[in-house]
Amino acid sequence: MIQTNFRLFFTYVAVVTVMLCSIGFIMLPLVSGNDQIIVFLTLLGSFIIFLVIIYQLFDRYIKPVRSAASVAEELVKGNYKTRTYENHYGDAGRLSNAINLLARNLQEMTIQEKIQGSQLRTVIDNMESGVILIDERGYVHLVNRKFLKIFGKKTKDYIGYLYYDVLEEERIYKAVQEAFLYEQKVKNAFTISLEVEKLYIEIGGAPIFNEINELKGAVLVFHDITELKRLEQMRKDFVANVSHELKTPITSIKGFAETLLDESMDDDAIRNKFLEIIYKESERIQALVNDLLELSKLEKDEMHILYEKVNISELLEEITPIVQQPATRKEITLVTNLEPNLIIDGDFDRLKQVCINLLNNAISYTPVGGKVTLEVKKVVDNLHITVIDTGIGIPEDKMNRVFERFYRVDKARSRNTGGTGLGLAIVKHIVEAHNGTIKLDSKVGEGSTFSVKVPVNKKFILKD
Ligand code: ADP
């Protein structure tokens, strides 16, 4: 660039020199004496003036214009970092400044575009739903991370291929075709069977139009609604279970009440027996409703455990009279091993309920003459509450399920104990709300051990 500038400058100088020399050659023979010196000096003076003018012209106009032209060429090529000199005067200076401003704006715009592009990419990639973008000819242009997680394979297995060659599910084609055909939003759902689980996927498809309303492709969004379906199923099961649990005592109450009303009941003993059954069944309904209310309360504010300093000896003092009576009735020996001076952060009433539920179960599922032991001690930063019984035990394959709502190992026997099937679900909820864990060891015919661990201090989160 500098070389060509110099070449041009010297060309102009050479042209002027040739021109002045020619004038000199013509003029000098025509004059003589002092006139020759005057002509020569005039020509020399003109040469110097021309030299200055050419230099000025060159420096102020030709050089900046040429530099601006080459910067403009670089901009066309996409090199927005290029700049021209800025210290020029007049129109050439304005041109240089304008070119530099243009280059700066273009550079700024490309940076912004890059940032926006990467932001958009990040958003699309981190969306909780799968996304696929298909152009108007049916070629896949974009898939995000969630899409790959749902359908497997890698990005390169989709991009640039026709959607029907790379997608196996028929309902997806239908959604794409409908989006293209009717040019409107579509909704569909299907399931994908994986090795162990089944995924429920909802598709939402929408056509894409350009500014002049031409169809340019379609975007499909895949929502994984498996968790929602599971919750819906749980809710249905829950309603069915509650209705079933209520049906039995209500039928029984109705039946006995009708008998009492219909028949002239002379026998006081039978009448009392019937009334006793009605009373027992209504107690069962009451227990069920109380447990349901407790569960729903726990679920509503499970994070709002009312932390206070809980003195474990005081807590056990309140529990003993409640569990001692049924234990004595069944001639069960109740043993308590308590480490002295235990004070922990927790919710007094809820921890009390954990102990009562576990002890009541231990007593209910232990035959006459058995033994139930309650051990409470501190191990490092955790309080260990262990309830051991010598009862009927729980089969290994049912151990995980006993914490589910309404799950009973032996339905008939459990109902006879007056249990609602919600006791252990409540216990698990309370323990987990305290950041604790519950474990069960059991052997059929030998007994069960329920081990609860909760952090002694609120700030400790149990890691097991
Ligand atoms: P329930 O009110 O029926 O006792 P829970 O939720 O407390 O309901 O317990 C669920 C089931 O777990 C019980 O029905 C029973 O089959 C079993 N179970 C609980 N505790 C014991 C135990 N200590 N020994 C044997 N089985 C137990």
Q: SS in 3 state form for 116-148?
A: HHHHHHHHHHCCCCEEEEEECCCEEEEECHHHH
In a domain, 406, yes or no: yes
Query: How many angstroms separate the alpha carbon of residue 408 from the centre of ligand 1?
Result: 6
Single out the residue in 262, 280, 299 at which a domain terminates.
299
In a domain, 448, yes or no: yes
In a domain, 145, yes or no: yes
Residue 316 — very low, low, confident or very high, per pLDDT cuts 50/70/90? very high
Residue 2 — very low, low, confident or very high, per pLDDT cuts 50/70/90? low
Nearest CA to ligand 1 atom 12: 402
Query: Quick one: which atom of ligand 1 is closest to the CA of 419?
Result: 2
Residue from 241, 285, 361, 400 whose mutation best tests the ligand 1 pocket (most atoms within 8 A of CB): 361
pLDDT at 464 over 50: no
Task: Looking at the structure, tell me whether residues 277 and 327 fall in a common domain.
Answer: no
Task: Looking at the structure, tell me whether residues 430 and 365 fall in a common domain.
Answer: yes
Task: Looking at the structure, tell me whether residues 356 and 422 fall in a common domain.
Answer: yes
Query: How many angstroms separate the alpha carbon of residue 414 from the centre of ligand 1?
Result: 7
Q: How far is CA 311 from CA 351, 451, 452, in A?
A: 11, 19, 17
Query: Quick one: which atom of ligand 1 is closest to the CA of 408?
Result: 14
Query: How many angstroms separate the alpha carbon of residue 307 from the centre of ligand 1?
Result: 28
Query: How many angstroms separate the alpha carbon of residue 252 from the centre of ligand 1?
Result: 23
pLDDT tens per residue, range 146-205: 999 888 889 999 999 998 888 877 778 888 888 887 887 888 888 887 777 788 989 888
Compute the average pLDDT of residues 268-279. Answer: 89
Compute the average pLDDT of residues 86-94. Answer: 76
Task: Looking at the structure, tell me whether residues 354 and 399 fall in a common domain.
Answer: yes
Nearest CA to ligand 1 atom 3: 421
Query: How many angstroms separate the alpha carbon of residue 88 from the centre of ligand 1?
Result: 93
Query: How many angstroms separate the alpha carbon of residue 402 from the centre of ligand 1?
Result: 6
Query: How many angstroms separate the alpha carbon of residue 406 from the centre of ligand 1?
Result: 10
Alpha-carbon gap, residue 83 to 104, rounded angstroms:
8
Query: Quick one: which atom of ligand 1 is closest to the CA of 424?
Result: 6
Query: Quick one: which atom of ligand 1 is closest to the CA of 447?
Result: 24
Residue 94 — very low, low, confident or very high, per pLDDT cuts 50/70/90? confident
pLDDT at 88 over 70: no
In a domain, 461, yes or no: no
Task: Looking at the structure, tell me whether residues 382 and 429 fall in a common domain.
Answer: yes
Handedness of CA 22, 27, 30, 35 (dihedral sign): negative
pLDDT tens per residue, range 381-402: 999 999 999 999 999 999 989 9
Q: What is the pLDDT of residue 158?
A: 92
Q: How many helices (H) and strands (E) does the chain have?
A: 13, 12
Number of domain units in the chain: 4
C-alpha closest to that of 188 among 206, 177, 201 = 201
Length of the chain: 464
Q: What is the pLDDT of residue 297?
A: 82
Query: How many angstroms separate the alpha carbon of residue 310 from the centre of ligand 1?
Result: 27
In a domain, 462, yes or no: no
Take residue 54 and report the two structure tokens written for it: 């050419």
pLDDT at 254 over 90: yes
Q: How far is CA 322 from CA 12, 232, 268, 287, in A?
A: 116, 38, 32, 15
pLDDT at 302 over 80: no
Q: What is the CATH number of the domain that holds 242?
A: 1.10.287.130
In a domain, 122, yes or no: no
Compute the average pLDDT of residues 438-449. Answer: 95
Say if residue 351 is exposed, middle or buried (CB neighbours under 10 Å; 0-12, 13-18, 19+): buried
Task: Looking at the structure, tell me whether residues 244 and 281 fall in a common domain.
Answer: yes
Task: Looking at the structure, tell me whether residues 332 and 245 fall in a common domain.
Answer: no
Q: How far is CA 171 from CA 57, 162, 207, in A?
A: 74, 16, 16
Q: What is the pLDDT of residue 27?
A: 84
Take residue 382 and report the two structure tokens written for it: 């955790």
Query: How many angstroms separate the alpha carbon of residue 296 from the centre of ligand 1?
Result: 20
DSSP string, 67-124: HHHHHHHHHHHT-TT--------HHHHHHHHHHHHHHHHHHHHHHHHHHHHHHHHHHH
Q: What is the CATH number of the domain that holds 166?
A: 3.30.450.20
Q: What is the pLDDT of residue 377?
A: 95
Q: How far is CA 130 from CA 27, 37, 177, in A?
A: 90, 93, 18
Alpha-carbon gap, residue 285 to 250, rounded angstroms:
8
Query: How many angstroms separate the alpha carbon of residue 75 from the centre of ligand 1?
Result: 78
Residue 462 — very low, low, confident or very high, per pLDDT cuts 50/70/90? low
Task: Looking at the structure, tell me whether residues 446 and 342 fall in a common domain.
Answer: yes
Query: Quick one: which atom of ligand 1 is closest to the CA of 403?
Result: 6
In a domain, 422, yes or no: yes
Query: Quick one: which atom of ligand 1 is closest to the CA of 393?
Result: 25
Q: Model's pTM, two decimal places?
A: 0.61
Helix segments in 152-267, DSSP class H:
163-166, 170-181, 226-262
Nearest CA to ligand 1 atom 20: 361
pLDDT tens per residue, range 335-353: 999 999 999 999 999 999 9
Task: Looking at the structure, tell me whether residues 385 and 340 fall in a common domain.
Answer: yes
Nearest CA to ligand 1 atom 4: 419
Single out the residue in 75, 91, 116 at which a domain terminates.
116
Task: Looking at the structure, tell me whether residues 107 and 216 fall in a common domain.
Answer: no
Alpha-carbon gap, residue 282 to 272, rounded angstroms:
15
Residue from 408, 411, 417 whose mutation best tests the ligand 1 pocket (most atoms within 8 A of CB): 408
- For the chain, percent of residues with pLDDT exceeding 90: 41
For residue 256, give its domain range: 229-299
Residue from 360, 417, 424, 426 whose mutation best tests the ligand 1 pocket (most atoms within 8 A of CB): 424
In the block, tokens 């973008």 appear at 133
Alpha-carbon gap, residue 9 to 291, rounded angstroms:
100
Q: What three-state secondary structure class fits 368?
A: coil
Residue 278 — very low, low, confident or very high, per pLDDT cuts 50/70/90? very high
Task: Looking at the structure, tell me whether residues 80 and 218 fall in a common domain.
Answer: no
In a domain, 464, yes or no: no
Q: Which amino acid is at 458?
A: K
Alpha-carbon gap, residue 20 to 26, rounded angstroms:
10
Alpha-carbon gap, residue 27 to 9, rounded angstroms:
27
Query: How many angstroms separate the alpha carbon of residue 367 from the centre of ligand 1?
Result: 14
Query: How many angstroms separate the alpha carbon of residue 333 from the centre of ligand 1?
Result: 19
Q: What is the pLDDT of residue 90?
A: 78
pLDDT tens per residue, range 13-27: 898 889 888 988 888
The set of protein residues with a Cβ atom below 6 angstroms from ligand 1 is 361-362, 365, 389, 391-394, 402, 407-410, 414, 419-425, 448
Q: What is the CATH number of the domain that holds 373?
A: 3.30.565.10
> Where is average pLDDT lowest: 254-258, 260-264, 292-296, 353-357?
260-264
Q: Are 451 and 432 in contact (CB under 8 A)?
A: no
Alpha-carbon gap, residue 48 to 53, rounded angstroms:
9
Task: Looking at the structure, tell me whether residues 387 and 432 fall in a common domain.
Answer: yes
Q: What are phi and psi of 267, to 5 degrees?
A: -75, 110
Nearest CA to ligand 1 atom 11: 408
Buried/exposed 268-305: b ≥16 CB within 10 Å, e otherwise: eeeeeebeebbeebeebbebbeebbebbeebeeeeeeb
Nearest CA to ligand 1 atom 19: 361
Single out the residue in 224, 251, 271 at which a domain terminates.
224
| Secondary element (H or E) of residue 415 | helix 411-416
Average pLDDT of every residue of the chain = 87
Helix segments in 126-224, DSSP class H:
145-151, 163-166, 170-181
Q: What three-state secondary structure class fits 263?
A: coil
pLDDT tens per residue, range 25-35: 888 888 888 88
